[in-house]
Structure 1
Amino acid sequence: MTLHRLLAAGVLLLASAASSAFDFKSVGNTPIVLYDAPSLKGNKLYVAPRGMPVEVVISYGEWVKVRDFNGDLAWTEARNLSARRSVVVRNPKAAVHATADEAGPVVMLADKGVILELVDPQVTTWVKVRHKDGTTGYIKASDVWGI
């Protein structure tokens, strides 16, 4: 009987791990204040710029706890976030190519911290992105955070 319980517990653990996919959103059209608690009375930690990607960790009423590119946790009102996706470049001088290929022409170099709009949510080794100046291309998924 103990073996069956152990097996059942293992199956439940695997099922819960598989169902916990990353939930990324982006800061909406205006910069937002991030707080240390789910309340406007909480301490203001910093201002997140428009379009910044965040990972939603947990929802609490009208508030969400988010993780940013640096791994820092903070709270914001859920209404401040957009389903429109973006990514942030994690490596200096990351190449954005015209095609999803290392041999494709480089259309721009994006420095660490640059926010790019995610054009196609289908992620493989390459991610299709757009810079705010309109330049569109493909960047290695390993060069960005937010997917």
Structure 2
Amino acid sequence: MKKSLVVSLLLAAGFAAPLAKALEFRSVKETGVALYEAPALNAKKLFVVSRYYPVEVLTSQKEWSRVRDATGGIAWIPVAALSTQRMLLVVVDKSEVRAEADAASPLRFSVPRDGVLELLEPPKAGWVKVRHRDGSEGYARITDLWGL
């Protein structure tokens, strides 16, 4: 009985390890970067993304990363085209960015769907501190954003 318990615990730990890995998000460095069906420049181009577009890195191999976008699409992108700068994609019709992490706080600015914001601080209590390209900063609801 003890032996089977130890084996069960080892198996559980082995299966849990991949799940414990933190999500890795990156953003695209420049405008007009193609995402490919396979990790090769001669592979079929699936679509082109703009600068700052956030992606979730699923795996990397040498010069390529397999990524997922906000729609759930999976593709390959050259590692050199990715930045460690954390950008977030607005996934609601309009995200309101407030002066403080509170819905009653004054509105600083709003960002339409598919707009991007830079992540400044880790999320806390349902809000995240962000910066717009124009330098404006504030707090947005995490439910409005993808890339966290």
The sequence identity of aligned pairs, in percent, is 40
Q: 1:4 aligns with which of 3, 6, 11?
A: 6
* Residue aligning to 2:83: 82
Instruction: Say whether 1:72 aligns with 2:73.
Output: yes
Residue 102 (structure 1) shift: 1.2
Q: Where does structure 1 differ by over 3 angstroms across 4 or more consecutive aligned residues?
A: none
- How far is 1:63 from its partner? 0.3
How far apart are residue 80 of structure 1 and its match? 0.3
- Equivalent position amino acid for 1:8 in 2: L
Q: Tell me the residue number matched to 2:98.
A: 97
1:128 correspondence with 2:137: no
Q: How big is the shift at 1:26? A: 0.3
1:15 aligns with 17
Name 2:44's counterpart in structure 1.
Answer: 43
Deviation at 1:4, TM superposition (A): 2.1
Q: For 1:83, give the aligned amino acid.
A: T
- Greater shift, 108-117 or 81-90, is seen at 108-117
Q: Which amino acid aligns with 1:30?
A: T
Deviates more, 1:128-137 or 1:40-49: 128-137
How far apart in 1 are the matches of 2:10 and 2:143? Answer: 36
**1:18-37 alignment to 2 at 5 Å?**
18=20, 20-37=21-38
Q: 2:19 is matched by which residue type in structure 1?
A: A
* Structure 1 residues not aligned, in runs of 5+: none
Q: CA deviation at 1:27?
A: 0.3
Check if 1:58 corresponds to 2:59: yes
Aligned AA (1:27) = V
**Matched residue count:** 145
Q: Write the distance in 2 (CA, Å) between the matches of 1:119 and 1:5.
A: 43
Whether 1:113 aligns to 2:114 is yes
What's the CA shift for 1:31? 2.9
Q: Deviations over 1:68-102 (max 9, x none)?
A: 11110011110100001100011112211011111
SS at match of 1:4: helix
Q: TM-score, normalised by structure 2?
A: 0.91
CA distance in 1, matches of 2:17, 2:65: 24
**RMSD (CA atoms):** 1.3
